[in-house]
Amino acid sequence: MLDQPKIINTISKATVIGTMIVFVTNIACLAICFVGTEDKARPEEYGPLTIILGAIALIELGIGFYIKRKLMAPLHAANQTPSDDLLWQVALKTTIALAAICAAIPLYGLVAVIIEGNINAMVGFAIVSLAGFLFLRLRPRDFSKLEYDN
């Protein structure tokens, strides 16, 4: 049987993996951006590409909420309490998918910086990426419909 501490432990383990994916991608993109664009002129305004990529990033985060719900469906579809293995598999699969969505966002920023040269845009994309994972990550309330021992 599942209990609340077991669910929280599973969420914690999966979240650490997802957080590392997002952090490593953000740090790598920021490092490439700041090391690779030292000598270039830095425009103060955002170009159309940065705005378009920013809109795509926000749409992608919205799609992340839908994907999260769909990936969690196997846990809620069964009429019985899911096993520990199923809980771990679904939590890990969902977390990695959400981390991949959030890890793509700084890559958009890197493309915008390489093409338009505005380093400030990269910082904005990194913040959106980290905040997006913060809001998309698994929480105990995502498992509230499951039957478990208290």
For the chain, give the mean pLDDT. 86
Cβ 114 vs Cβ 145: under 8 Å: no
- Condensed to tens digits (0 to 9), the pLDDT of residues 64-77 reads 999 998 998 877 77
Confidence tier at 20 by pLDDT (50, 70, 90):
very high
Would you give the DSSP letter of residue 83?
P
Looking at 40-44, 55-59, 134-138, which range is the least confident one? 40-44
- Condensed to tens digits (0 to 9), the pLDDT of residues 102-148 reads 999 999 999 988 888 778 888 999 999 999 999 999 988 887 776 55
- CA torsion 33-109-61-84 (nearest 10°) is -30
Q: Considering the chain, what percentage of its residues have pLDDT values greater than 70?
A: 87
Number of domains in the chain: 1
Q: Is residue 33 part of a domain?
A: yes
Domain that holds residue 31: 4-143
Q: Is residue 148 part of a domain?
A: no
Q: Is residue 59 part of a domain?
A: yes
Give the integer Cα–Cα distance in Å for 132 and 56. 13
Q: Is residue 101 part of a domain?
A: yes
Q: Is residue 120 part of a domain?
A: yes
Angle, nearest 10°, between helix axes 119-136 and 84-116?
A: 170
Q: Is residue 106 part of a domain?
A: yes
pLDDT, residue 5, reads: 84
Q: For residue 21, give the nearest of 137, 146, 140, 149 by alpha carbon.
A: 137
Q: Is residue 150 part of a domain?
A: no
| Residue that wins the pLDDT comparison between 47 and 44 | 47
Q: For residue 87, give the nearest of 148, 16, 20, 135 by alpha carbon.
A: 148
Cβ 125 vs Cβ 62: under 8 Å: no
Q: Is residue 71 part of a domain?
A: yes
